[in-house]
């Protein structure tokens, strides 16, 4: 539908805009034929896109390994200092 909407700011300015809302396209039932070649192709394309990193994103296990080592090192130092303080 089409609606007239009036927007008002805190300093008193107003603006009337026309808001047009369109109906979404209804989803087509893709499960009609499970052997359909096109549906398999689209699923493969979606899986392929899900495996690719986004722009600027790098998937690397190196960061996880370095982070884990740093956490373990911090815990070891903290535990060592705690034992050292108990002795003195």
* Secondary structure (3-state) at 3: strand
Q: Which two tokens stand for residue 49?
A: 């896109």
Please give the pLDDT value at position 72: 96
pLDDT digits (tens, 9 = 90+) for 2-51: 899 898 988 989 999 998 888 876 555 545 555 555 555 555 555 655 66
Where exactly are the structural domains of the chain? 60-88
Cα-flanking dihedrals φ and ψ of residue 37, to 5°? -65, -35
């Amino acid at each position: 539908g089409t609606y007239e909407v009036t927007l008002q700011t805190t300093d008193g300015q107003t603006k009337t805009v026309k808001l047009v809302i369109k109906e979404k396209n209804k989803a087509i039932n893709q499960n009609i034929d499970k052997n359909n070649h096109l549906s398999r192709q689209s699923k493969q394309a979606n899986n392929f896109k899900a495996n690719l990193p986004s722009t600027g994103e790098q998937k690397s296990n190196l960061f996880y390994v370095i982070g884990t080592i740093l956490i373990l090192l911090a815990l070891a130092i903290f535990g060592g200092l705690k034992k050292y303080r108990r002795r003195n």
